[in-house]
Amino acid sequence: MTWQQAAQYDAQVDLLRKLANTSARFNVREMDGQPVLVDDRLPNGECVRVDGPAAPDLMRHLFHLNYYALLSIVGLLEAARGTKAQSNAVELLKRLKLDQDPLQPPTSQ
């Protein structure tokens, strides 16, 4: 790994850490028969409702991929640097698309 690749790897791990640290610490619940995300730390337990046919699958993913899981992934990525697992860690970072804004349409090139 060149120093440029190492710098990019570290930058992406830092981005993932920031993403984890700024994510809501939500729980998946059911309210009125609908899946919702609830942040129990907030006074009113504010929630986000998810509608549509994909809602159960999305909630299942969000249940497993939460704040604490993201922090654990960051720790694994840091530990993988310089080991046999590094190529898998680089591939994971690539697939996470941390350099892209999910709310912006992709640019055609």
Q: 101 in a domain, yes or no? A: no
Structural domain includes residue 2: no
Number of domains in the chain: 1
Q: Domain range holding 54?
A: 14-96
Asked if the structure places residue 22 within a domain, the reply is: yes
* Within-domain flag for 102: no
Classify residue 103: in a domain, yes or no.
no
Does residue 108 lie within any of the structural domains? no
CB atoms near residue 93 (< 10 Å): 20
**30 within domain boundaries:** yes
pTM of the model: 0.74
**Rounded Cα gap, residues 3 and 103, in angstroms:** 31
What pLDDT is recorded for position 92? 93
pLDDT digits (tens, 9 = 90+) for 15-60: 999 988 887 788 888 877 778 888 877 777 767 888 888 888 888 8
